Each structure stands twice: as structure tokens, then as C-alpha cells.
Amino acid sequence: TRPGWRWPAALLPAAMAASTWAQGAPDSAAIVRSLARPAPAATAFVEVRDSPLLREPLRVSGEYRRPDANTLVREVREPYRETTTLREGEAVLAREGRPERRFALSRAPELAALQGSFGALLAGDAAALRRHYTVDAQGSAQHWSLRLVPRDPELAARLRDLVLHGHGDQLHCIENTPVKGDPRRTLMGPAAEAATRAGDSADIAALCRGDAGAG
């Protein structure tokens, strides 16, 4: 069975970390610990981008993979094929029909933030996450959100915040809000499957935030 973001039976005791905050206000450190996933891990995603130039939101689907603790792979399968590999301070971009590109993550703060935030989340390392973002938790164990505001001035000039939505030990959506432009929502796992059937932007936003049930 392909590794996923749901806890395998052998690791269920670790997932009980969420129980420490289930009866009270959400604790960001406990939420992050509950999201830890040992490598290798993989999850399907659907990224939805709004634009006034489009009649309907653009949907990009594929899979995130973490083959080892130091590597993050974003593979796009529809509507085009592209693989981005982030490892050891470098990004490798391979798109069908085009030459491979390599560049330092220092030139792409958004990609560096993606690797840093995913790495910290999948490691369950709340301290590492706080080195890069201020973190605010809202909601309950059944329906929580984490708002991440970048500390790095260069990234903050481009990215207003990231808001993570989930329930229990499941992360099902990330809202990426740039300083300029429209929000971008990335739905994962069962929420990604539901996003392929959802209608307009309002449906996607509700699904992302859990208002429409993400499984």
C-alpha cells in the first residue's frame, strides 16, 4: 500500500497526541505534533487558483511526496506534467517538453517556505515552524486552523499568510494568500478528491475550510 497521510495502525499511539488538546482550546504545538508523518509519505493534492481573467478557477492536480526527510517533491499531473524537487537548498524543475531547470532556493523564497513549512509539519517540529512563522491556532480538535505569518521580510513582502485547515491529525487544506493577487487553495487527500467534483470558488472555499465536509 502506498504511504499516505493517515496513520498506519502501527503508529496509532502517536496519533493520540491530539487527545491532549481535544477537550480544550487548540494548542498549535500539539496540532503540529499530531501531523507528523515519517518518510516516505505521499498525498494527492488539488490546487485551485482564482483569477478575474478566468471563467472558472484553474485546477492543478497531482501528488506531494516526501521520499526522505530532506526532500519534497511536487508532481503535477493535470492539466500539464511538471515535477519540482526541493532538496539541499536547490530546486529542480522538470516540465514535459522543456529543458530541466535548476536554481537555488534562495532565489525563490516561496519555494523555500514551502519546503520549510512542509518539512516542519511532517516532522512534527513546532519549534522549527515558529522559527519561520508566527503561529496562531483556532477552533477545536474536530475543526482547527493554523495561521502562519512569515517572519522573513522578503517573504512577507510577497506572502500575507498561510492558513492550514484540518481535523484531528489530518491536514486537508492550505490557503495561500499573497500580498497582491487572489488566494490559492491546496486541498489534500479526501478533500482533494472532493475538490475535483466541487463547483465554483465559493464551493472550493467552503470545502477548504471544512464547511462542506472534507471526509
pLDDT at residue 77 tops 80:
yes
Confidence at residue 58, expressed as pLDDT on a 0 to 100 scale: 83
Distance of CA 69 to the CA centre of its chain: 16
Check whether the bond before 52 is cis (ω within 30° of 0).
no
More confident residue, 104 or 115: 104
- Distances from the Cα of 159 to the Cαs of 24, 89, 163, 177, 196, in angstroms? 31, 20, 11, 6, 26
Helix (H) or strand (E) run with residue 114 in it: helix 109-123
Sign, CA torsion 202/55/188/194: positive
* Parallel, antiparallel or unpaired: strands 159-167 and 144-150: antiparallel
In the structure, how many helices (H) and strands (E) does the chain have?
7, 11
Q: Which residues of 113-141 are buried (b: 16+ CB within 10 A; e: fewer)?
A: bbbbbbbbbbbbbbebbbebbebebebeb
For residue 185, give the nearest of 34, 35, 57, 80 by alpha carbon: 57
More confident residue, 34 or 3: 34
Instruction: Quickly state the pLDDT bin for 200 (edges 50, 70, 90).
Output: low
Compute the distance between CA of residue 168 and CA of residue 18 in angstroms, rounded to an integer: 6
38's grid cell: 515519517
More confident residue, 182 or 200: 182
Instruction: Quickly state the pLDDT bin for 198 (edges 50, 70, 90).
Output: low
Q: What's the burial of 201, exposed, middle or buried (CB within 10 Å: 0-12/13-18/19+)?
A: middle
pLDDT at residue 179 tops 50:
yes
How large is the greatest C-alpha to C-alpha distance in the chain, in angstroms? 53
Q: What is the mean pLDDT of residues 100-122?
A: 85
Confidence at residue 149, expressed as pLDDT on a 0 to 100 scale: 96
Q: Degrees (nearest 5) of the Cα angle 192, 146, 138?
A: 115
Q: What is the pTM of this model?
A: 0.79
pLDDT at residue 38 tops 90:
no
pLDDT at residue 23 tops 70:
no
Confidence at residue 215, expressed as pLDDT on a 0 to 100 scale: 38
Confidence at residue 199, expressed as pLDDT on a 0 to 100 scale: 61
Choose the weakest-confidence range: 68-82, 111-125, 164-178, 192-206: 192-206
Confidence at residue 4, expressed as pLDDT on a 0 to 100 scale: 37
pLDDT at residue 136 tops 70:
yes
